[in-house]
Chains A and B, each alone.
Chain A
Amino acid sequence: MIKTEKLTKRFGDCTAVNAVSTEMHEGAVFGLIGSNGAGKSTFLRMLAGVLKPDSGTLSIDGEDVWENPTVKSRCFFIPDEPYFFKNATPETVKDFYAIFYPKFDRAQFDKIISVFELPPKKRLSEFSKGMRKQIMIIAAVASNCDYLFCDETFDGLDPVARQAVKGIFAAGMVDRKLTPVIASHNLRELEDICDRIGLLHKGGILFEQELDAMKLGIHKVQCAFSSPKTKADFSDAAGFEVIKFTARGVVVTMTVKGTRESVLERVNGLAPLFAELLPLSLEEIFISETEVCGYDIKDILF
């Protein structure tokens, strides 16, 4: 388990990560979202042991990461812009990482390379950006690490490759409880893979929650009544909290917090002509949640 407590990193006058406390459990995908400059990469680089925290604690399975080769041998960091040596090829990348990762699986590396149809002896300088990222992901998977830190990893991957990578991650999670931590500014990329989401903003973590719980606890309701309704008509019941309310004549669209049952019970109690619960995208959930916190998510992410 990765645990941070008041983790802080400053670059001169700028506080890139400000007292972030969170937990990331084994075998679950943690999504770290935030706008550019929110501190995602800095947070990940601290997790990977590249940067030393200025204050606070960071531990992986109870051990400090900084200058701890034992812990770092169980982690793999895929940076936003991975660096490769001059004249490097997939083969040399494999040889390089095999030096450091005792459980590095060369056969698996070769196998995935062939699945992705990447030429093993071709120079990486001749690869596209997406192909180079694929190489890093393959090296990470073949390293058989326990923790995988991905910084904007899906950026640049085509949809097929993206799905393939997600499949590889899922297999790793099943096989050996791989714990990916994925930072991105694109909510849609994380929606179908993350178990838990944390939103970073200006170095601080705005909130974090299990994605399922998030989805189960918030709903979009579209209903129609015989007479126009106001927000006040819906806001008094326990376990039912209107986050967003839009009324167009007798048709009402709301984003509400509460269980599916409690929401339906409250809406049906007002005798609607019809009422239905619509699926919420992660983006909509975040918009709603952050608005509750007093932020405009559009200012944060888009």
Chain B
Amino acid sequence: MTSKTSSSEFGKLTMHRFRQLTWLITLWSAALFFILPVLQSMQLGLLMPNKSSHLSKDGVNLLLADENYLVLAGALVTGIIAACVVQAFMNSKNQNDLWLSLPVRREKLFAVNLTAGAMAVLIPLTAAYILASVMTVLTPDAAALFDFSAVLMGYLRAVGLFAVAYAITTLWCVLSGRTIIAVLCTLFTPAIGSATAGLAVLLVLMQFKTFYYTQQTMKILIELCPFAPFFATSIADKLITTMEIVWAAVAVILLLLSVRLFQKRSPEKAGDALVYSKALPIVKYPLVFLSTALGWVFFKLITSETGWAIFGAIAIGLCVFCLVNVLEKFDFRNILHHWWKFIATAAVFGLCIGILILDPLSYDTRLPAREKITEAKVYQLTINGIDLNPSSNFQQTIKDPEIIDSLYNLSQFVVGREEYLSYNTSFGYRNDPSDIPFSDISNAYGSKHLLYTVDYNGFIRQYSAFISDDQEKLLVAIFSNPKVIMKTNGAYTYTADEIELMTIEFSNISMSYTVKDTVATGPENNGAVGDVIYALRSGALTTTAEKLENAHLLCVLHIKGEDGKTVRVPVYDFYEKTRNIWLWPVIENHMLKTDPALIESIRVERLYDNFSQTVTDSTQIAELAPALITYMDTDYNPLISTENDYTVTVTYKDDSVSYPRLCDQQLPDWLKN
């Protein structure tokens, strides 16, 4: 047979197999049509014309690029289905008789099936992407925002995920010899199984305990799961992207391995596994264990009785065990032959439950023992969305025992109020606010939502709860220890030169103000930024516990240092001096510009004789400008006396306005009585 004939035969056979997959192609194409062109047209506003004027770059590209999760899910599912369908002939004696009696080499047959299956998925996927992209480019407002490279990456990611699912399923088809086993094995491939089990445990912990995990563990779980990195693109981690490429490469290797194993696979093994004894436990026991755990949780939730939970665990676990055995053997009689496996599964389950309940490693009990904590990181600390995190950034490791004490007190405060958290006798505290009835929020729980994520020695715990006003005060008292804050974020030790940007975010009014180091005023002559630091430090250091307990948050100061770090400092209402001395004056100080060239006019009003004059002459402005001073100047400089009878309004050429005071010594003669 010539190579031309051979390639022609390959092409014809591939097309024949391709046509056999018409049902899959149709379903997948229909799904893709809705996932990509239809959704994209909705996104572009083509179905709602009035929306087109609000298009953003994200709106145009995300569906095709970084957030093409539906496409990814579809690629995963169709990858598994396609592999099972095209390799199903291995599982059937009748199909083996047909295919293997044909004058075609087995590996060629295998390659034909692989190619046809891949075509059935990739051609519709490519067509849908092209259609959606062309549609986007042809949309006038969207064309300029279309990011080809991002969309291409989204497409390649879907192809990569398909390849991984396709390769793993194909390998399991060759090994297991049964479709259902191949699918189960695909889902419970060791890495996937570990990731799935890990995530399931985390979900349980998140619901029933103070949520904790190690960031490294989470990353490893994601990276080891062949499918997860493709879905985890939102995690800005180079390793995730690398793992996508690694798994795509592994997919190619697995396909080659599948061909090799298929060559070794005897046709008479149709319907039988090559490595049952090794493959099946990987599938069976994690599945049984998870089912047993879910049985426990389900019955416990319904009945709140441990006896029923034990019943549920045994019943569900046993059912799943039997089901898997039936799928494996199709013979109920063999089930009792696995009695020791029952016992082993039960023992493992009992051990896990025992560990969860008894908590010998103090994983439970809502908090690790204080003496075990040597370092901590605070990832987030917000009350009603206001960021109160004392750390300069979430990578900052806190080792100071005093600060850790404060954080630990905070953790105790959050989880220690059992009456305000939902408590489950088996699994401890639920800290999910959604678990609290809405009607109770305004009464017992208050309206303040606390979100607190802290990392103790690598174990991350997340607290989320509604707290009352009283609790908030206590929380503030615990958290706002100025010594702790000063040691933690260093905000009070900054000098003006070290600060690049300082902004004030007010908690009770919608206002954000940027402090600029433009005018040298105040006792330390460091300008407004220095003034703020000075006043804040003095206020913080004079704090007492009594004051803290009655404190309310006034504003949050955001300080970005020259080193690039950003720190956040809460400012409380009891910082009277701070508030009166610098807060408003600082703002005014920055609004005041004394350069005559910048001033359009100065309006002066005198209270006692109702005198008023608007100065627009440049000569008069030049004479009056040196007299313009801020409130801070009058408060800090004993040599300056202020003419309190005047109200001054300065209008600048850029239309801005300021309201300074007048220095008595600099007052021009024409303005004096």
Contacts and interface: CB of A to CB of B under 8 A. Distances in A.
Contacts of A102: 5
B249 to A, nearest CB: 30
B12 A99 contact: yes
Given A77-B101, A82-B98, A99 B106 contact: no
Contacts of B102: 72, 100
A99 B102 CA distance: 10
A72 B267 contact: no
Contacts of A75: 101, 103
Interface in A17-50: 45, 48-50
B48 interface: no
B264 to A, nearest CB: 11
B16 interface: yes
Contacts of A77: 97, 101
Main secondary structure of the interface of B (DSSP, over half): helix
Given A96-B16, A99-B9, A99-B12, A69 B267 contact: no
B386 interface: no
A83 interface: yes
A181 B113 CA distance: 31
Interface string B347-374: 0000000000000000000000000000
A52 B100 CA distance: 11
Contact of B268 (A11, A71, A96, A100): A11
Contacts of A82: 94, 97-98
B16 A79 contact: no
B101 A52 contact: no
A85 interface: yes
A67 interface: yes
A52 B1 CA distance: 22
Contacts of A79: 94, 97-98, 101
B97 A45 contact: yes
B101 A72 contact: yes
Contact of B104 (A50, A51, A69, A83): A69
The size bracket of the interface on B is 20 to 34
A78 to B, nearest CB: 9
B101 A48 contact: yes
Contacts of B16: 95-96, 99
B20 interface: yes
B425 interface: no
Contacts of A52: 266-267
B105 interface: yes
B96 interface: yes
A194 B513 CA distance: 104
Contacts of A49: 100-101
A116 interface: no
Nearest to B269: A11
Contacts of B9: 99-100
Contacts of A67: 105-106
Contacts of B5: 102
A69 B103 contact: yes
B634 interface: no
Contacts of B1: 69-70, 73
Contact of B95 (A83, A95, A101): A83
B114 to A, nearest CB: 18
A48 B98 CA distance: 10
B92 interface: yes
B340 to A, nearest CB: 25
Contacts of B94: 79, 81-83
A70 B5 CA distance: 12
B103 A101 contact: yes
A50 B267 contact: yes
B97 A50 contact: yes
A39 to B, nearest CB: 13
Interface string B213-256: 00000000000000000000000000000000000000000000
Nearest to A99: B12
A72 B267 CA distance: 16
Contacts of B583: none
B100 A50 contact: yes
Nearest to B9: A99
B103 A51 contact: no
Nearest to B15: A99
B20 A51 contact: no
A10 B384 CA distance: 74
B13 interface: yes
Contacts of B104: 69, 72, 100
Nearest to A76: B101
Nearest to A145: B103
Interface in A99-152: 99-102
A51 B95 CA distance: 13
Contacts of B95: 83
Contacts of B97: 45, 48, 50, 77, 79, 82-83
Nearest to A151: B97
A69 B101 contact: no
B95 to A, nearest CB: 5
Given A79-B97, A83-B97, A100 B103 contact: yes
A76 B97 CA distance: 11
A82 B16 CA distance: 18
Contact of B98 (A71, A83, A101): A83
Interface in B63-95: 92, 94-95
Nearest to B8: A99
Contacts of A95: 16
A69 B215 CA distance: 56
Contact of A83 (B92, B266, B267, B268): B92
Nearest to A97: B102
B50 to A, nearest CB: 47
Contact of A70 (B92, B103, B266): B103
Interface in B1-50: 1, 5, 9, 12-13, 16, 20
Nearest to B20: A85
Contacts of B267: 50-52
A123 to B, nearest CB: 14
Contacts of B266: 51-52
Contacts of B98: 79, 82-83
B103 A72 contact: yes
Interface in B92-150: 92, 94-98, 100-106
Contacts of A73: 1, 103
B498 to A, nearest CB: 75
A299 B20 CA distance: 46
10 contacts: A11-B268, A49-B100, A49-B101, A52-B266, A72-B102, A75-B103, A79-B98, A85-B20, A86-B20, A99-B9
Interface of B: 1, 5, 9, 12-13, 16, 20, 92, 94-98, 100-106, 266-268
Closest CB pairs A-B (n = 10): A73-B103, A72-B103, A77-B101, A83-B94, A79-B97, A69-B103, A48-B101, A50-B100, A83-B98, A99-B12
Given A82-B98, A83-B98, 9 more contacts: A48-B101, A49-B100, A49-B101, A69-B103, A71-B103, A75-B101, A77-B97, A82-B97, A83-B97
